Chains A and B, each alone.
Chain A
Amino acid sequence: MTISIRSVEKQFARYPALRGVSLEVQPGELLALLGPSGSGKTTLLRIIAGLEFPEAGQVAFDDQDVTFASAAVRKVGFVFQQYALFRHMTVAKNIAFGLDVRKAKDRPARAEINRRVEDLLGLVELGGLGGRYPAQLSGGQRQRVALARALAVSPQVLLLDEPFGALDATVRKSLRKELRRIHNATGVTTIFVTHDQEEALDLADRVAILNQGSIEQVGTPQEVYDQPASAFVCSFVGETNRFDGAVSGGRFVCGSVSLAVDCADGPKTAFVRPHDLVVAPEGFEAKIVRVTAQGPVIQIEAQTASDQRIEISLARQEAGSIAVGQTLRLAARKVHLFDPAD
């Protein structure tokens, strides 16, 4: 199902949460809404679910206007940040809830509901735990139950609010793969909210990056990483070194840092990713402050002659012998330039 969000605006008290957001989500897509806290990503997700209603704009499912339709009629599966499992019901009852509450004429037979619950428990790899109560499960298991419960009603859209936020790092990684697997198995259009750029880039087909209630960029993980549309996207997605300076005669200059660029003259903000810095005899100077070796990559923290801290990632073979106190000469393979107003 295609989800179209057109110029949606929403305010809380007098604080604008969304300022004219438009977004098209393709059928079967796995899309991440990425942004810092307060960027409006959860509000957008809740508006798509029908748990919140916009002041202006339109939400359409397959060109059918659902802007003010209630959550109950939208047929969306929603996974809450704190899971919101019904604590007084068993896991099986939780999963069956969406089917149990249907009107008698639409409700599947008992045996069919039980079979569906068993299937879903199998899908999220919780077979045999249907009789437990939520309080008897670990965080990761609760998350799986929430996912199975949301899928039980065969939703047209699956929405997840910070699905891995409350879990520790290892569980988070394995559940990430799990979500990808379940998405592939069910083919349901999925949107999830996250503040973790690594999670978004790792899991999503496309990423929509929100900042202060507006979408800054929508694109594949590679697009937003390699061709950031704004200074915000560049600094939010991936590691960067930021330089505020000016371009003149084909060179960007900020203190002692000088980089070759292809850009008209004027004040600019430049971003260089740590792995885009390379050792070059003609480059600017930086003195090594700290060296951390992480597998095949060496992370270097250095200080420029104009006292700016920068980070450099070098491949081990490239780096040669490197020690704290040594001075490197650096050039940039790739520079992202933006107007300072951004």
Chain B
Amino acid sequence: MSPRSSTQDPWWVKTLVLSLVAVFLGLILVLPLVSVFAEALRQGLGPALEAMSTPDAIASIKLTLLTAAVAVPFNIVFGVAAAWAVAKHEFWGKSLLISLIDVPFSVSPVVAGLIYVLIFGSHGWFGSWLIDHNIKIIFAVPGIMLATLFVTFPFVARELIPLMQEQGVDEEEAAASMGAGGWMTLWRVTTPNIRWGLLYGVLLCNARAMGEFGAVSVVSGHIRGLTNTMPLHVEILYNEYDFVGAFSVAALLCLLSILTLILKGLLEMLQPQVRRAGH
């Protein structure tokens, strides 16, 4: 037997564990992804592209991108603010705030959607007031935005809180002792230290914003060309037995996610001197 180090396992253990992982990943991740693209291209590239370029499909793509474009900046601002408050300060009601940030994780997205219907729907609390002032939230774009914001809220904050807690307040105190004010410290000391965690949170948030189904489904009303996001559009096409169409839009959704992953990789390569904190 050849000598081996204490951390090296026998070859059969390695093979067994690795093949288990490979089989599992293959079944759960790779196979579905491949089948999405295979189904989309079943009748060739032409029909797939055609399905993506119908007016309804284009409207759904636009709405999805718009939703993500609203949700991500909102979450950057509020996620950083919430994480900063929780990790670097002591205040009354802090544990309540932490629990609140977790609510979207623990509540079913469908319930989240229903809450907004209850509040802003025509029979809801503010329903008559909104109708009087001719503002539409439920079964309209603002409702979709609200529902998406609700389900994506924890991603950035949850990603940053442990990171900022681990970094402590030493650097901020050092900045303060050298005469830097609050904004200066936030901008030049706190934010640069959390950029990788922030990027990761933004990616998760973006993926969820583009892919959210449940909450959006409840408040959307499924009006084609108006309030259908890509996931909702996929469902409609699928229910109408338009499999090529459904899988083509689904494949596009997958490509958007892969694109964000590539972007993340590129950004990380551009910053070689900074050790990745956290992940």
Contacts and interface: CB of A to CB of B under 8 A. Distances in A.
A84 B185 CA distance: 13
Nearest to A52: B173
B77 interface: no
Contacts of A149: 174, 178
A289 interface: no
Given A97-B180, A101-B178, A133-B273, A71 B192 contact: no
B66 interface: no
B272 to A, nearest CB: 11
Interface in A12-32: none
Contacts of B240: none
B265 interface: no
A153 interface: yes
Interface stretch (A74-82, A184-192, A194-202, A203-211): A74-82
A80 B170 contact: yes
Interface residues of B, number: 19
Interface string B169-196: 0110111111111001000110011000
B176 A71 contact: yes
Given A84-B170, A87-B193, A133-B273, A101 B179 contact: yes
Contact of A72 (B181, B192, B274, B275): B181
Nearest to B178: A98
A12 B176 CA distance: 22
A88 B177 contact: no
A135 interface: yes
Given A86-B189, A88-B193, A101-B188, A80 B173 contact: yes
Contacts of B170: 80, 82, 84
A97 B180 CA distance: 9
B31 to A, nearest CB: 42
Nearest to B182: A72
Contacts of A298: none
A135 B176 CA distance: 22
B180 A84 contact: no
A98 B240 CA distance: 65
Given A101-B184, A133-B273, A135-B275, A84 B171 contact: yes
Interface string A154-185: 00000000000000000000000000000000
A150 B175 CA distance: 10
A82 to B, nearest CB: 6
Contact of B177 (A76, A82, A135): A76
A102 interface: yes
Contact of B178 (A51, A133, A153): A153
A197 to B, nearest CB: 26
Interface in B134-187: 170-171, 173-181, 184
A153 B273 CA distance: 28
Contact of B174 (A50, A73, A80, A135): A80
How would you classify the secondary structure of chain B's contact residues: helix, strand, loop or mixed?
helix
B176 to A, nearest CB: 5
A133 B273 CA distance: 9
B195 to A, nearest CB: 8
Nearest to A146: B174
Interface size class of A (residues with CB under 8 A): 20 to 34
Interface string A60-77: 000000000011110111
Contacts of B175: 86, 97, 101
Contacts of B171: 84-87
B174 A72 contact: no
B18 to A, nearest CB: 33
A78 B177 contact: yes
Contacts of A75: 179
B94 to A, nearest CB: 15
Contacts of A44: none
A78 B193 contact: no
A152 B178 CA distance: 9
A231 interface: no
Contacts of A98: 178-180
Contacts of A102: 179
A277 interface: no
B95 to A, nearest CB: 16
Interface string A37-57: 000000000000111000000
Given A84-B170, A87-B193, A88-B193, A77 B184 contact: no
Interface in A81-121: 82, 84-88, 97-98, 101-102
A48 to B, nearest CB: 11
Nearest to B188: A101
B274 A88 contact: yes
Given A86-B171, A135-B275, A51 B177 contact: yes
B192 A101 contact: no
B163 to A, nearest CB: 13
B173 A71 contact: yes
Nearest to B192: A88
A72 B193 contact: no
A85 B181 CA distance: 17
Nearest to B275: A135
Contacts of B180: 72, 97-98, 101
Given A87-B193, A101-B178, A101-B180, 16 more contacts: A49-B177, A71-B176, A71-B177, A75-B179, A80-B170, A82-B170, A84-B171, A88-B193, A97-B175, A98-B178, A98-B180, A101-B175, A101-B181, A101-B188, A135-B275, A150-B177
14 contacts: A49-B177, A71-B177, A77-B177, A84-B171, A84-B173, A84-B174, A87-B193, A88-B192, A88-B193, A97-B188, A101-B175, A102-B179, A149-B178, A150-B177
Interface of A: 49-51, 70-73, 75-78, 80, 82, 84-88, 97-98, 101-102, 133, 135, 149-150, 152-153
